[in-house]
Structure 1
Amino acid sequence: MTPRDALEHLWMLAHPHDSAEDLKAALGSIDIAGDDPGLPSVFRVGTLAAASIGGAGLAAARFHRLRGGAEQRVGIDVRRALAAFRSERYLSVDGGAPFELRHPVTGYFQTRDGRWIQLHANFAHHLHGILRVLGCGESRDDVARAIRTNWDGAALDEALAQAGLCAALVRTPREWAAHEQARAVAGLPLFEIERIGDATDSGGGAASAPKAGARPLEGVRVLDLTRIIAGPVAGRALAHHGADVLLINGPHLPNIAPLVIDNGRGKRSATLDLREAADRAQLHALVRDADVFLQGYRPGALAAHGFAPEALARERPGIVCVSICAYSHRGPWHERRGFDSLVQSASGIVWTESVAAAQGGAMPVAHDDAQAGGSFIAMPFDAPRPLPCQALDHATGYLAAFGAMVALARRAQEGGSWHVRLSLAQTGRWLQTMGTLAEGQRAPDLRAQDLADCLEESATPFGRVRAVAPAERLERTPAFYARPSVPIGTDAPQWAG
């Protein structure tokens, strides 16, 4: 699959009722340069990057045209898209070295039965929970010894999940395909855009195409209730096409400082504690003037506070709700906590990369050590190897922005309130269906010094920030960040102006 093949699939999935002429016109207005392998991987990560970012750029241009703006061409280059997919890796402040994003206990550990399990311990409460389950000290050596001595892989995977912690057993593709959660994911499309309410008011729910501004999303208000990478990337993409993005964090919730800097560009930042009635009331007040409600909580978590999509559609007819989670809203794992790297491990992506690395960088052929019934023989590698970037996070973020803009266009043409649903697992499945590259891991890596033309600098409250610029190129309305990133809670929880 080429980047253009993937983009055409994405566009047609989002516009199933467009005529052949409309599809040809839309897809004919984007220029795509480059191909895989752009990073050392047997997976088509460059294709995923170019399609998801290019699709978001094309959706922005189409929405701008729908509002009366000029026609324009869109461009995406695989190399620039891959730089954006590793934006946190290339971030620097005041010329300093790249940031270390992982706690030492985050990573892979071999179990008593020869399996590998990945732990995610970047947040203190997750780390302490893991240590309680293992009954050991907090050094990496303590954790490795406890797991290797006392735990079989599947048992530890289940024990940590039951404790509400973040981990994933490294499964083979065949193991994952036989799993009930994988079957649930396979029954879903890449994303869903569903109408969840009618609307006849003049506040945006009725069919209308607001007057074009200087930028595609000028005047569009976005509430961004997300953290870490996938959701924040979605909000950042909407911001760099002109949306007014208000980030809402809980003051008690942990964050990772470099990601706040990288993914906060273009946004204002406020805090509200949804455990408090007054703060919930303030969020409801914000919802009544919002166009997009973007959230990355586990399915059902916000509904318990009164912010289910259907409730929001009644409160604010015409709203576009965007929900991102780890393993999708269906299946036995729909409430399971997860991050990009854990979904890679669970779904067979890490296994595939690891076997290829053990074979000198060549793609493994018919080498799956899980039997059809799920029994396990041995891991044919000495150490797990993930993708060379957080590809599921970044792709899901750009797909969420894409879905939000498609839904805004539908609202303008048809009216109604809309719900866009995505997950890291659905994105991972799409990557796996793109096919693999026999010698992909032998591609050279991309270093920061090789990407000077992809980086930009800005003055921020954190210092002089050097970061990856928006990768998509719009001929008449170039993407840019109108605001620097700011510390969490800098702004009041209210709309500007």
Structure 2
Amino acid sequence: MTPELALKHIWTVAGCDPAALRSVSLTGADPGLPSVYRVGSLASATIAATGLAAAECQRLRTGRRQSVAVEMRRALAAFRSERYLRIDDGPPPALRDPVTGFYETRDGRWIQLHTNFAHHLRGVLNVLGCDNERAAVAAAIRGWDGAALDQTLADAGLCAALIRTPDEWAALDQAKAIARLPLFEIERIGDAPAEPLCHGGADRPLAGVRVLDLSRIIAGPVAGRALAHHGADVLLINGPHLPNIAPLVIDNGRGKRSAVLDLRAAAGCETLHGLADDADVFLQAYRPGALAARGFGPEELARVRAGIVYVSVSAYGHDGPWARRRGFDSLVQSASGIAFTERQAAGDAQPRHLPCQALDHATGYLAAFGAMTALTRRAAEGGSWHVRVSLAQTGRWLQSFGMLADGWRTADVALDDVRDCMASVQSEFGRVLAVQPAEELAQTPAFYALPPVRVGAHEARWV
């Protein structure tokens, strides 16, 4: 799969104008990072789709097309943005809890734990009955069979994944449910009059577009960040009780304002309803059904805000027995056979993940692409829209690209290799050095109008 073919697939699934593809230039070829998977093609295609969707939004405003260019090296830097982030020339950010990682089980299988949130770590330690030390966790896991521990942790609402082969994954009902879905969905869910995109200034593709971003960590926040760097007014909404990972708040908070609302309280729900009434896009990455239980499902919002574009980001998709299972990029890699395949190709003793959070980033860009595509449909024909993406659907697509037998031998890419892809900005955290948008639009360059801010730095209102 080349970047061009992957981009064409995205564009075709969405039913977009094929003539627009003539405006895109893609350069570079896999492998760009040490992997047997065509991660560069995934990065270039999803970022190019986002850039081209932004260009189409701008064309609706002005009537003029513009060229879009993506260099694979820059796209891969963007897919590793959290790794390259630096504050005041300090050390690389700490992104993982020490207990997170791979462990061998009693029956010779491997399982991955994900314990980057304190309450997930406590839950795992309680199930295992051991101390918060990696050696103690490893010893406890050697007393379990892999499948039994995987199911026990899932039943407890915790974050783990048994390392499966691709064939083992394909045999599961969840994999079969995902196989029935397209790469993403853009579905009309209600009637509403057409709304032109040009209710803001015409200097940026999404000027005047209001986005509520109810997401954390990487996939959803990357989607909101992409909408921000094309000019949207993005208001990030966090709960006061919800954990975050500080470097990701900084990296993915660029271009956004940030507020806190407690949706466990009636006042918080009332405020969010008021914000949604004046929003164009409602982006959320809670587990399927979680926000609907509080009155913020897609159909409910479409009734009270006709014309809303509702974007749902999930781990394992909205259908199948795992739809409500907690998941992260690395866990989906482990469950679906990606970590097994990387290990097998490289001959490693342990499972091996992709060299970046490729499923997170690609899914985030697909979510942003879907949101912009739905906005252009709303401008043309009206309606309320629901965009659905998932890490597992993206992972399945990547696995269909074909393999690079010796791709794992490719040299890694260090910070000094990508400094030309980065820029500095002063913020309340200090001087932030971070990767810049990889898509190059000839007339409306992507950029961040705001520096990153702490969670809750702003009031929960539109400017």
After TM superposition, the score normalised by the length of structure 2 is: 0.99
Q: Is the 8 A contact 1:184 1:330 kept in 2?
A: yes
Q: Which residue of 2 aligns with 1:400?
A: 367
Q: Is residue 2:217 matched to residue 1:224? A: no
For 2:227, the equivalent position in structure 1 comes to: 238
Map of 2:174 onto structure 1:
181
1:124 Cα deviation after fit: 0.5
SS in 1 for 2:346: helix
Partner SS state of residue 491, structure 1: coil
Measure the CA separation in 1 of the matches of 2:428 and 2:196.
39
1:482 matched residue in structure 2: 449
Letter in 2 for 1:13: V
- Is the 1:209–1:413 contact (alpha carbons within 8 Å) kept by the matching residues of 2? no
Q: Is the 8 A contact 1:207 1:416 kept in 2?
A: no
The code of the aligned residue for 1:408 comes to L
The match for 1:411 is 378
Q: Secondary structure of 1:182's match? A: helix
> In the TM superposition, what whole-angstrom CA distance separates every residue of 1:448-480 from its partner, at most 9, and x where no partner exists?
001111010000010000000000000000000
Q: Which amino acid aligns with 1:2?
A: T
**Structure 1 residue aligned with 2:188, among 191, 195, 205?**
195
From 270, 275, 283, give the equivalent of 1:281: 270
Contact 2:191 2:306 in 1 (8 A): yes
Q: Which residue number in structure 2 is paired with residue 266 of structure 1?
A: 255
- The 2-side partners of 1:216 and 1:227 are apart by 25
Which amino acid is the alignment partner of residue 248 of structure 2?
A: L
Q: CA deviation at 1:86?
A: 0.3
Q: Distance in 2 between matches of 1:439 and 1:140?
A: 32
1:43 paired residue number:
37
Structure 1 match to 2:400:
433
Q: CA deviation at 1:69?
A: 4.8
Distance 2:195 2:9 in 1: 27
Query: The residue matched to 2:62 in structure 1 has which SS?
Result: coil
Equivalences for 1:295-310 in 2 at 5 Å? Answer: 295-310=284-299
Query: How far, CA to CA, are the matches of 1:280 and 1:213 in structure 2?
Result: 33
Distance 1:271 1:208 in 2: 30
1:325 aligns with one of 303, 314, 324: 314
Q: Distance in 2 between matches of 1:100 and 1:465?
A: 15
* 8 Å contact kept, 1:35–1:46: yes
Query: SS where residue 379 of structure 2 aligns?
Result: helix
**What TM-score does the superposition give when structure 1 sets the normalisation length?**
0.92
Which residue of the partner structure matches residue 13 of structure 2?
13
Aligned-pair CA distance for 1:438:
1.4
Q: Is 1:210 aligned to 2:198, yes or no?
A: yes
Cross-structure match for 1:382: 349
CA RMSD after TM alignment: 0.9
Alignment deviations for residues 2-42 of structure 1 (CA, whole Å, 9 cap, x no partner)? 10010011111111xx5xxx41x211100000010000000
Deviation at 1:384, TM superposition (A): 1.0
Superposition deviation, residue 207 in structure 1: 5.1
Cα separation, 2, equivalents of 1:79 and 1:382: 29
Alignment of 1:128 with 2:122, yes or no, is yes
Shift of 1:439: 1.1
* Alignment check: 8 A CA contact 2:221 2:253 kept: yes
2:195–2:378 Cα contact (<8 Å) kept: yes
CA distance in 2, matches of 1:155, 1:477: 53
Give aligned pairs, total.
462
CA contact (8 A) 1:210 1:412 kept: no
| Partner AA of 1:284 in structure 2 | H
Deviations 1:294-344 (A, max 9, x none): 000000000010001000001100000000000000000000000000000
**Secondary structure at the counterpart of residue 193 of structure 1:** strand
List aligned pairs for 1:138-149, cutoff 5 A.
Answer: 138-148=132-142
The whole-number CA distance in structure 2 between the counterparts of 1:184 and 1:80 is 34
Equivalent position of 1:366 in the other structure = none
Please list the CA deviations of residues 44-67 of structure 1 after superposition, one character each: whole Å capped at 9, or x if unmatched: 000000000010000000111012
* Match in the other structure for 2:388: 421
Alignment partners' CA distance in 1, 2:235 and 2:376: 21
Does the residue aligned with 1:60 lie in a helix, a strand or coil? helix
Q: Report how far residue 221 of structure 1 moved.
A: 0.1
Aligned amino acid, residue 446 of structure 1: V
2:424 is paired with a residue whose SS is strand
Other-structure match for 2:48? 54
Q: Look up the SS of the partner of 1:451 in the other structure.
A: helix
**1:151 counterpart = 2:144:** yes
Distance in 2, Cα, partners of 1:132 & 1:32: 50
Is 1:109 the counterpart of 2:97? The answer is no
Which ranges in structure 2 are unaligned for 5 or more consecutive residues?
none
Partners in 1 of 2:235 and 2:57 — Cα distance? 21
SS of the residue 2:125 aligns to = helix
Work out whether residues 231 and 295 of structure 1, in 8 Å CA contact, stay in contact via their aligned partners in 2: yes
For 1:10 and 1:306, the matched residues in 2 are separated by 31
- Looking at structure 2, the residues matched to 350 and 66 of structure 1 have their Cα atoms a distance apart, in angstroms, of 43
- 1-structure distance, mates of 2:66, 2:163: 45
Code of the residue aligned with 1:253 in structure 2: it is L
Unpaired runs of 5+ in structure 1?
A: 201-205, 359-380
Aligned equivalents of 1:290, 1:198: Cα separation in 2: 16
User: Are the equivalent residues in 1 in contact too, given 2:363–2:389 (CA < 8 A)?
Assistant: yes
1:445: how far off?
Answer: 1.0
Per-residue CA deviation, residues 410-469 of structure 1 (Å, 9 max, x unaligned), is: 000010000000100000000000111111111111110011110100000100000000
1:121-147 residue CA offsets vs partner (Å, 9 max, x unmatched): 011100000001001111000000000
Number of the residue aligned with 2:239 = 250
